[in-house]
Structure 1
Amino acid sequence: MLDIDFYFDPVSPYACLAFEHLPQALEGLSYAVRYRPVLFAGMLAHWGQKGPAEIEPKRAWTFRQVGWLAHRLGLRLDTPPQHPFNPLALLRLLTACAPAGETPGRNACEQVLRHVWHGGADPNDPARLQALAERLQPRRDPASDEVKQALRGATDAAIARGVFGVPTLAVGDRLFWGLDGLEMLVAWQRGDAFLGGPGWDEAGALRPGVQRQR
């Protein structure tokens, strides 16, 4: 059985699309998924990157592309009034939905992602956040130090595994980044010669010729 860790942050439209498309993409495969909410901004800070929505021309491209991808996949995607936004309240709520040491279930993740990407409303509107929390009934206090530390620990563990962006689907030591990474994962499981052969390791071993000073 395919054992998948799905790293995501609800701030990412690509994570939402990958989450929604996952059952269809993996149809016919035997699999189990652990949904792992992480702070994308923490990853960006660690790896020295900016998010796509922080670069103005890239923001325009990002939302044109995700709009087209949603259309192509037959999925709903309504952008919130401002992006990027601070997803910490949602991430802590999701983390609090699981017992200590465990990950939230698909239903909780679905509700949080659709809270952001269905309807086009402010994800951090206090009344909406309260209604979402009442529906989810978290097992722990989202504002507790325990939950905050658990989210930090989950993000640090993802970085230590080599995760640099969301969504990332991890199977053992193989990381598949982005919505298009889902297609690569499925091809690998179905015996793709490049992904299952030496081509995977050889392509990843290419060394940089120029390194920019930060």
Structure 2
Amino acid sequence: MPRIDFWYEFASTYSYITAMRIANVAAEEGVVVRWRPFLLGPIFKELGWNDSPFNIYPAKGRYMWHDFARVCDEEGLPLQLPPVRFPQNGVKAARLALAGEADGWTAAFTRAVFTANYAEQRDISDDGTLRDILSGIDVDPDAAFEAANAPANKEALFAQVDEAKARGIFGAPSFTVGDELFWGNDRLEAALRWAKG
């Protein structure tokens, strides 16, 4: 079956929308999704940014929040702005998501983290929040945290970021099909078409 790689960052607003719809849309098209959590912070630093561009450029930020709310409404997704500083720190969540790939719970965990962040106003950097999420998807939190904090898994996340850089990824969500790159929630369908043909 054709495959698409879905690159996402837990702090990313539009990644929330994509994470909540990609499984159904891809299944309808007969395309397999590989979930690829990564970190935008190191990429932004190389661009000379010490924060989200939505914070650095106020006009862009104002537009994004308005558009984000509009698209969430169109998709029927609940939205409550995060209770802590935007963007939230998603490092622990990314490590957990990556650790879950071997056992097949990455997608469910990812959707639950995004829901906690953008629909439930929870702190996704908090161990208690993440443990609740893991329990809610029937994953043992102790085992998951042990796997996530293993040196090999931490290195795997660094490698994931390096691969994202090598592929020219500069934002999230992004999709890759072979060497072809698509950026943005609104490019998902185009990426799926490319994967099919």
TM-score, normalised via structure 1 length: 0.77
Where do 1:1-214 residues align within 5 Å? 1-26=1-26, 28-49=28-49, 51-55=52-56, 56-81=58-83, 82-99=85-102, 105-135=106-136, 136-137=139-140, 138=144, 140-186=146-192, 188=194
Structure 1 residues 122 and 45, CA, compared in 2 at 3 Å: closer, same or farther?
Answer: same
Q: CA deviation at 1:88?
A: 1.0
SS of the residue aligned with 1:60?
helix
- Quick one: percent identity of the two aligned structures? 28
SS of the residue aligned with 1:61?
helix
SS of the residue aligned with 1:141?
helix
Structure 1 residues 71 and 159, CA, compared in 2 at 3 Å: closer, same or farther?
Answer: same
Structure 1 residues 154 and 189, CA, compared in 2 at 3 Å: closer, same or farther?
Answer: closer
- Contact 1:10–1:91 (CA<8 Å) still a contact in 2? yes
Q: Is there any run of 5+ residues in structure 2 with no aligned partner, and where?
A: none
Amino acid at match of 2:69: G
- Contact 2:148–2:154 (CA<8 Å) still a contact in 1? yes
- Contact 2:31–2:192 (CA<8 Å) still a contact in 1? no
- Contact 1:95–1:103 (CA<8 Å) still a contact in 2? no
- Contact 1:96–1:140 (CA<8 Å) still a contact in 2? no
Q: What is the number of residues matched between the two proteins? A: 189
For residues 82-120 of structure 1, the C-alpha deviation after alignment (integer angstroms, 9 at most, x for no partner) is 311211111112122234xx9863222222222222212
Distance between the aligned counterparts of 2:127 and 2:154, measured in 1?
A: 19
Higher Rg of the two aligned structures? 1
TM-score, normalised via structure 2 length: 0.83
